[in-house]
Chains A and B, each alone.
Chain A
């Protein structure tokens, strides 16, 4: 009788372990590009991470309450333009921020050039990114673009 009870408890424990307790529908979605707009040759142009219109923004959701995450950017060093032209783009160690409240005014600043660990108290948040471009005086006119990747790891 005692043996059967013990075996039953062990089966329950195995069932609890086998069914993942932390499986969430986590999503990471880009919601706004980092947009420098019109850039003048010879005039460096910056976008702040607090710019509501031009800052890059990526939303994290479904991570689970009180979840620790590590965010990591893969950043370009140049933007590509017409006829193979390139324009340098740089990111300072204060150019990124993350907010569990998902508001641009409550960001925790971090260096986009290194991984950053943060707690999403409500399982969601927004990552914000600024940057700067430095066109030469002879920069070829036209549209330039670069790809920014944010990777989010649940800890």
Chain B
């Protein structure tokens, strides 16, 4: 007896499923028949399914990660803020435009924007003696001259500026006022001005 095969679906493959396949063969003699179990045929069908197994397909593609790193910043202190001789009881001011003004040079990626901040002393010191300093004033420019420079107030707050288009420079000029007391002790007073500069990413 032969049952009609059924269709099955697995992993996108169509299977013909044969169950209980028996073959009935009729001999030449009409009144005689022989039943033969088709086990060999079942095994052959299974072998065909195994031979048709699918191999996983894999493909690859590449892309790149890219970046352009800008020039690292270089800072140079090029001149001290020099008040020279100061007299007790008489305040003295050095303007950013004066030859005695403090000077810094910044070098980096042309056109890039930088954020400038200062750490400033409140006193110049001579031993245990303090000489008050304040009223800070500044100029910054793309070239090493004060003409046409941009005014700013040096402080811990950020001052933004763009480095020069071709050279990547920025020049800073710093002035301030010292206020000696009437009984200010004589001596050589000093202090430290610190400039901090970072790229903003703009």
Contacts and interface: CB of A to CB of B under 8 A. Distances in A.
Interface of A: 2-3, 5-6, 9-10, 12-14, 16-18, 20-22, 26-43, 45, 56-58, 76, 79, 81, 87, 89, 129, 131, 133, 135, 137-155
Given A17-B48, A17-B51, A152-B58, A147 B64 contact: yes
B56 A153 contact: yes
A53 to B, nearest CB: 13
B49 A148 contact: no
Range for the number of chain B residues in contact with chain A? 35 or more
Contact of B71 (A17, A141, A146): A141
A33 B57 contact: no
A79 B23 CA distance: 70
Contacts of B41: 6, 10
Interface stretch (B10-18, B79-87, B127-135, B138-146): B10-18
Contacts of B44: 10
Contacts of A58: 61, 63
B148 interface: no
B45 interface: yes
A95 to B, nearest CB: 12
Contacts of A149: 60-62
Contacts of B2: 2, 5-6
A21 B12 contact: yes
| Interface residue SS majority, chain B | mixed
Contact of B64 (A29, A39, A138, A146): A146
Contacts of B63: 30-34, 56-58, 129, 148, 150
Contacts of B14: 16-17, 21
6 contacts: A9-B16, A26-B59, A30-B61, A40-B200, A42-B198, A150-B63
B67 interface: yes
Contact of B67 (A12, A13, A87, A155): A87
B70 interface: yes
Contacts of A89: 65
In order of increasing CB-CB distance, the 5 nearest A-B pairs are: A17-B52, A13-B16, A40-B199, A36-B67, A30-B63
A155 B199 CA distance: 48
A148 B72 contact: no
A152 B56 CA distance: 10
